[in-house]
């Protein structure tokens, strides 16, 4: 495990990150500043989809009156396929602040994003309320965030899905398995993706899974908290959003509560 600060509100604790391969840096730095070590437990790696089907689907999606981007990875992969420039009259929305920042860096200008940075917060945006009979583009990956497409379709929209990247499953790393088996310190499991949580629960060996189950869960939404409880996990807090600072702030607050 990497070195960590000797003092801080999470000193002596582990933070378990379920980010994709190569995506744990932000968690690691923020956790270290609070005195915690990070246990990286990736359920998948990100892989661009750049075939003709993906290009055609993206072109159709970006032509819709309203376009939804579900993650920074979706923005990065879409940007490699096509310039991201909204047309006059289009409404582009992002699931959270990180996705909105990625769109601005890609040249998309100002885009809307919810204060509550999850599927529920996105679907509460005014831009996505009156969509009956409209095309809505959804720039995303296969699987995950199914509630967005289903809810928009339920509101009468025709959802034009563009899968621009894939989550390629990877087995738990030997290092992560060994760390969970030997886990003997307080641990916080950051749950910001239901799909990621369910994958690690089904792929870990039983003894490593026992270590994971000793962790206290901080969920990014009430929906994810309910999912964690359904799997028998102990939910300590629901964070203000899926942003790393908000997730770790919830860990800090919960750690101060007996």
183 part of a folded domain: yes
Please identify, among 105, 136, 167, the residue that sits at the C-terminal boundary of a domain: 167
Q: Is residue 6 part of a domain?
A: no
Domain that holds residue 119: 47-167
Residue ending a domain, choose from 144, 167, 190 = 167
Instruction: Find the CATH number of the domain harbouring 96.
Output: 3.40.50.10090
The predicted pLDDT at position 100 comes to 94
Predicted confidence (pLDDT) per residue in 51-83, tens digit: 999 999 999 999 999 999 999 999 999 999 999
Q: Are 246 and 218 in contact (CB under 8 A)?
A: no
Q: What pTM was estimated for this model as a whole?
A: 0.85
Tell me whether residue 30 is in a domain. Answer: no
Whether 9 is in a domain gets the answer no
Could you tell me the strand order of the sheet in which 37-40 lies?
37-40, 14-17, 187-191, 216-219, 234-238
Number of domains, the chain = 2
Does residue 136 fall inside a structural domain?
yes
pLDDT of 139-184, one tens digit each? Answer: 999 876 578 999 999 999 999 999 999 999 999 999 999 999 999 9
Of 110, 134, 167, which residue constitutes the final position of a domain?
167
Cβ neighbours around 133 below 10 Å, total: 9
In a domain, 161, yes or no: yes
């Amino acid at each position: 495990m990497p070195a960590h600060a000797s003092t801080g509100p999470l000193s002596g604790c582990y933070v378990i990150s379920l980010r994709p391969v190569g995506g744990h840096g932000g968690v690691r730095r923020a956790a270290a500043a609070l005195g915690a070590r990070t246990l990286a437990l990736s359920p998948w790696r990100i892989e661009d989809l750049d075939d003709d089907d993906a290009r055609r689907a993206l072109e159709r999606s970006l032509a819709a009156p309203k376009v939804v981007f579900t993650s920074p990875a979706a923005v990065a992969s879409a940007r490699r396929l096509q310039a991201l420039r909204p047309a006059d009259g289009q409404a582009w929305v992002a699931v959270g602040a990180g996705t909105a920042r990625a769109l601005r860096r890609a040249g998309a200008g100002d885009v809307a994003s919810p204060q509550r940075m999850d599927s529920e917060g996105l679907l509460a945006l005014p831009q996505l309320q009156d969509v009956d009979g409209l095309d809505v583009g959804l720039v995303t990956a296969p699987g995950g965030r199914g509630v967005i497409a289903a809810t928009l379709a339920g509101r009468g929209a025709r959802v034009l899905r563009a899968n621009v990247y894939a989550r390629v499953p990877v087995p738990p790393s030997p290092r992560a398995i060994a760390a969970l088996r030997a886990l003997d310190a307080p641990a916080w499991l950051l749950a910001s993706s239901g799909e990621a949580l369910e994958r690690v629960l089904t792929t870990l060996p039983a003894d490593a899974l026992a270590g994971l189950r000793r962790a206290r869960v901080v969920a990014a939404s009430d929906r994810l908290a309910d999912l964690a409880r359904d799997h028998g996990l102990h939910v300590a807090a629901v964070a203000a959003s899926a942003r790393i600072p908000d997730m770790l702030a919830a860990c800090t607050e919960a750690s101060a509560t007996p």
